């Protein structure tokens, strides 16, 4: 049997882990809240084994957030949280900087065809996490042609790379994800389900657009820096296997961000914005539980076998009963990756892959510890063994820089939303109707009027994750949301791929590249913004919370993920790779009239 995780709370607490900590009355809010553990969070990556840990300790980890992560400031009065009240003084653009930003916007506009081709090309590759081979080859080739030095295979991830240009300080790092979604293959510009290759993966998250945005912005800034002899270093990298949360923590461990002054990440959205402070992203641990039994003839001598699949199913059943008694903030989901070979053989092996999510890293450790305990109990119930537990990915909840976000937001307002034409709005409303929306609203047309304040801890109710969180706890970081997709879609779905090789994506990426380039110019020429970002990072963000990795020192990147799926579908998908030497756009190559929507629609799954 595999030993319990040295940083987890394991078997001794399984029976009584639901014991809740005592409540106390909150003077600030005038109601009862859960008592919280000690305020300073400085947890190491390997907490000593807790075989004798009390049930109350696990309960405290799972039930109640810690005060270091809690938000201060009562409702109905001024928001006194330090992440909100931290003073920021943004220097106004002088004539030189204003002129350079106008130059950057003109350069980005002049590269719109180049940007469109990158977006369409990566869309056509449609590669899953850890298998982004064609994508990385193509993008690094472009960067090398434009004078960047490229290091491939960083952090033990074959499809990862690091591109750099320039010298000296500041070092500004640009990142975005490149992987896509299983079974999300879809013809672009078609407002209903119509895959190019049935069952194949596709860009149902829009990750084909972010690195092209960063490349466009970086080339524009590079030209300005060369022309005006501006010192500094540009760094670009891809988010590999973000959907599995499987790479960025390894980038951190490999030291990719040592010496970096600011990270500007970007992610596709349907709005145009940025945020700061606590985010709604959940911390996550991705773990596969592998059980070992013994085979036997399932009809002739079933008593001679021990079913590993029984252990998987009992673990899943137990988890589903237990989730009723877990906080509303947790999210957990699983797939059975090995359920045996055939019905007439008692399965000697079986595996189940879980995502555990909670609002912060200590809480997600507690949630994983509970899952680990239940797995061991399931093995005991079935006389099988928990052969191993693989950590396939992990990530902290993101926390973002107020000074950089404020600076970027000013640039977003200056760029403004793209101008959508009737065709763009027709496609957007067409898919919204297709998904059963009674009053399809189409595409957003306005930039938010103000930068939103961070959510309070009590308002967090769970949600998605992004391993940019690990980066954000090591260097001041923000995430630019650029308007390249359609609002109101389900996410991780073929519907989210519809816009991603159309004028909607092309316009949104060009707008985002302008804001990204303008922000890089500010960071290069306004050292006080970088200084304030580090002040916020050191004295607000990490004052009481210190980063620790959620994977173990011996864990390695799961570079085998998705290989079998891509091996199955890549030969057919290659037939549809975009050829910009023959066709202006991918829509032209596919012969798709833009937009194609149903005249009459109905709700679909």
For residue 62, CA distances in Å to 59, 256, 365, 526, 566 come to 5, 32, 9, 43, 37
Evaluate if pTM is beyond 0.85. Answer: yes
At 462 the pLDDT is 84
Please name the residues in contact with 255: beta carbons below 8 A apart, sequence gap of 6 or more.
none
d(CA 124, CA 459): 39
Whether residue 411 contacts residue 483, with contact meaning beta carbons closer than 8 Å, is answered with: no
pLDDT digits (tens, 9 = 90+) for 158-194: 999 999 999 999 999 999 999 999 999 999 999 999 9
DSSP codes of every residue in 194-240 = --SSTT--B-SS-TTSHHHHHHHHHHHHHHHHHHHT--EEEEEEEET
The domain 11-76+282-395 is classified under which CATH number: 3.40.190.10, 3.30.70.360, 3.30.70.1450, 1.10.1740.10? 3.30.70.360
Cβ-contact 284, 355 below 8 angstroms: yes
Contacts of residue 599, defined as CB under 8 A and 6 or more positions apart, other chains included, come to: none
Ranges in the chain annotated CATH 3.30.70.360? 11-76+282-395
Task: Please give the Cα distance from 291 to 293 (Å, whole number).
Answer: 7
- The residue written with tokens 């290759």 in the block is 197
Q: Which token pair is 13?
A: 């607490």
CA distance 321 to 11: 18
Beta carbons of 513 and 118 less than 8 angstroms apart: no
Q: Which residue has the tokens 């109350």?
A: 56
Question: Rounded to an integer, what distance in angstroms lies between the CA atom of residue 112 and that of residue 62?
Answer: 49
Range(s) within the chain of domains with CATH label 3.40.630.10: 107-280+398-454+467-543+574-590
Q: What size, in residues, is the chain? A: 605
Q: Are 436 and 508 in contact (CB under 8 A)?
A: no
Other CB atoms within 10 Å distance of the CB of residue 194: 15
Amino acid 4: pLDDT: 57
Residue 28: the pLDDT is 32
Distance CA 168, CA 382 (A): 61
| 248, 551 Cβ separation under 8 angstroms | no
* Whole-angstrom distance, CA of residue 250 vs CA of residue 159: 13
- 3-state SS, residue 121: helix
For residue 113, which phi and psi values (nearest 5 degrees)? -70, -45
Euclidean distance between CA atoms 272 and 228, whole angstroms: 30
State the DSSP code for 244. G
Number of H helices and E strands in the chain, helices first, is: 16, 14
DSSP E strands, 102-160: 149-152
Show Cβ contacts of residue 310 under 8 Å, excluding neighbours closer than 6 positions.
293, 382, 384
CA triplet 248, 204, 110: central angle to 5 degrees? 80
pLDDT at position 22: 30
Tell me the C-alpha to C-alpha distance, in Å, between residue 440 and each of 117, 264, 503, 594, 602: 30, 33, 19, 19, 13
- Rounded Cα distance between 495 and 432, Å, is 9
Q: Which residues of 277-311 are buried (b: 16+ CB within 10 A; e: fewer)?
A: bbbbbbbbbbbbbbbbbebbebeeeeeebbbbbbb
Token readout for 325 is: 């008694």
SS3 state at 350: strand
Exposure of 29 in the CB half-sphere (CA atoms within 13 A): 15
Q: Residue 5: what pLDDT?
A: 55
**Rounded distance between C-alpha atoms, residue 175 and residue 235, angstroms:** 8
CA dist., res. 260 & res. 526, Å (int): 16
Contact 28, 75 (CB under 8 A): no
Map residue 249 onto helix, strand or coil.
helix
Return the number of other C-beta atoms located less than 10 Å from residue 361's C-beta: 27
Task: Say if residue 326 is exposed, middle or buried (CB neighbours under 10 Å; 0-12, 13-18, 19+).
Answer: middle
Locus of tokens 């090789």: 501
Which residue has 């005991």 as its token pair? Answer: 380
Fold type of domain 107-280+398-454+467-543+574-590: Aminopeptidase (3.40.630)
In whole angstroms, give the CA distance from residue 509 to residue 214: 9
* Per-residue confidence (pLDDT) for residue 16, from 0 to 100: 29
In 5-67, where do the E strands start and end? 23-26, 31-34
Residues of the chain with pLDDT under 70: 1-76, 600-605
Note the pLDDT of residue 2: 57
Instruction: Compute the distance between CA of residue 109 and CA of residue 46 in angstroms, rounded to an integer.
Output: 50
């Amino acid at each position: 049997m595999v030993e319990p995780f040295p940083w987890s709370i394991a078997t001794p607490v399984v029976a009584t882990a639901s014991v809740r900590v005592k409540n106390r009355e909150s003077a600030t809010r005038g109601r009862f809240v859960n008592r919280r553990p000690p305020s300073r969070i400085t947890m190491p990556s390997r907490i000593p084994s807790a075989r004798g840990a009390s049930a109350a300790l696990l309960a405290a980890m799972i039930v109640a957030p810690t005060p270091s992560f809690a938000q201060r400031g009562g409702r109905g009065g001024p928001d006194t949280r330090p992440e909100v009240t931290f003073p920021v003084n943004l220097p106004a653009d002088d004539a030189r900087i204003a002129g350079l930003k106008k130059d950057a916007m003109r350069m980005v506009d002049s590269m719109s065809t180049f940007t469109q081709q990158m977006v369409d090309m990566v869309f056509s590759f449609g590669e899953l996490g850890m298998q982004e081979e064609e994508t990385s080859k193509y993008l690094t080739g472009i960067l090398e042609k434009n004078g960047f030095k490229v290091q491939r295979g960083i952090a033990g991830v074959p499809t990862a790379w690091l591109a750099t240009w320039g010298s000296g300080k500041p070092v500004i790092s640009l990142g975005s994800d490149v992987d896509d979604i299983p079974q999300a293959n879809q013809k672009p510009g078609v407002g209903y389900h119509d895959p190019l290759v049935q069952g194949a993966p596709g860009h149902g998250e829009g990750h084909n657009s972010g690195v092209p945005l960063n490349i466009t912005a970086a080339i524009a800034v590079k030209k300005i820096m060369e022309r005006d002899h501006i010192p500094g270093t540009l760094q670009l990298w891809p988010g590999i296997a973000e959907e599995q949360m499987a790479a960025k923590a390894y980038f951190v461990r490999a030291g990719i961000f040592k010496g970096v002054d600011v990270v500007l990440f970007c992610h596709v959205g349907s709005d145009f914005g940025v945020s700061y402070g606590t985010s709604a992203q959940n911390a996550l641990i991705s773990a596969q539980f592998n059980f070992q039994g013994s085979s036997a003839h399932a009809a002739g001598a079933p008593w001679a076998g021990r079913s590993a699949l029984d252990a998987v199913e009992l673990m899943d059943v137990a988890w589903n009963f237990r989730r009723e008694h877990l906080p509303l903030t947790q999210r957990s989901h699983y797939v059975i990756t090995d359920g045996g070979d055939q019905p007439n053989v008692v399965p000697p092996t079986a595996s189940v892959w879980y995502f555990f999510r909670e609002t912060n890293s200590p809480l997600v450790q507690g949630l994983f510890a509970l899952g680990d305990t239940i797995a061991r109990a399931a093995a005991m119930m079935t006389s099988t063994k928990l052969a191993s537990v693989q950590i396939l990915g992990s990530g902290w909840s993101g926390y973002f820089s107020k000074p950089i976000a404020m600076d970027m937001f000013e640039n977003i307002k200056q760029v403004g939303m793209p101008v959508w034409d009737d065709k763009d709005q027709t496609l957007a409303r067409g898919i919204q109707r297709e998904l059963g929306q009674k009053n399809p609203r189409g595409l957003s047309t306005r930039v938010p009027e103000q930068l939103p304040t961070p959510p309070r801890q009590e308002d967090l109710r769970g949600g998605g994750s992004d391993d940019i969180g690990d980066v954000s706890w090591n260097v001041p970081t923000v995430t630019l949301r650029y308007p390249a997709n359609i609002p109101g879609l389900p996410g991780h779905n073929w519907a989210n791929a519809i816009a991603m090789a159309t004028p909607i994506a092309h316009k949104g990426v060009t707008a985002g590249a302008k804001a990204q380039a303008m922000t890089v110019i500010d960071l290069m020429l306004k050292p006080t913004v970088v200084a304030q970002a580090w002040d916020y990072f050191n004295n607000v963000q990490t004052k009481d919370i210190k980063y620790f990795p959620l994977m173990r020192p011996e864990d390695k990147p799961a570079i085998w993920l998705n290989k079998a799926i891509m091996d199955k579908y890549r030969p057919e998908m290659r037939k549809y790779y975009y050829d910009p030497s023959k066709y202006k756009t991918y829509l032209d190559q596919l012969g798709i009239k833009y937009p194609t929507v149903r005249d009459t629609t109905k709700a679909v799954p």
